[in-house]
Amino acid sequence: MAPRTTPKPHAPPSTPSKHHNNHHKKASKSPVYILASIVLISLILLITFSVILRVTSPNLHLTITSLQHFNVTSSSSPLNVTMSTELTISNRNYGPYSYEKCKGVIFHNDVMIGGGDVIGGRVGARSRKAVSVSMSFESNESNETELVEIFVFVKMSGRVRVLKIRNRAKTVEMNCTVRIDVTRRFVTSSLC
């Protein structure tokens, strides 16, 4: 006969251990942390790209460096002036600005009396470039006044290219009022 074995008592039903309960809480928080990280990274990228990819128009500023030729023989003769100017192009974008050849024109009493050519070129990202422009004009009015007021207008077209992703056309206009003292032969004021 076989030996008789006594049955072992069964362990009482156990409650989940504290270790198992902590693991379950950590596992349920992981998707929340992952989702919050994705939202935060997306928000940072959205703000960064909206700042970097924003395209604004460059700024133009005209500085008259000298009056090279100043021909006036009498108060009744026409005034012939050649100005050496510097056109400063400020590009605030995160991409280069390539501009086409354009013309600067000079007006006196709403009549075009002269101008000069601005050669095409390129301004780097977040930089400025100074371009030398020679402008000449002839005023047929009698020069009985000491001050001659002229208006210089430049319209420049070009394209801004940011990160080889965004390519935007931008046109920039500049109006300047220049007052020239005829008797002393110098520029008294230039307001752009």
Reported as a single tens digit per residue, the pLDDT across 140-166 is 765 567 788 999 999 999 999 998 888
Strand ranges, E, within the chain: 59-71, 79-91, 97-99, 102-108, 111-118, 121-123, 127-139, 147-162, 166-181, 186-191
Taking Cα atoms as reference points, which of 161, 174, 96, 166 lies closest to residue 128? 96
Residue ranges of the domains in the chain?
Answer: 59-191
Reported as a single tens digit per residue, the pLDDT across 32-85 is 899 999 999 999 999 988 888 899 999 999 999 898 888 776 666 778 899 999
pLDDT at 16: 54
Fold held by 59-191: Immunoglobulin-like (2.60.40)
Which residues have C-beta within 8 Å of that of residue 132, sequence separation ≥ 6? 84, 85, 86, 87
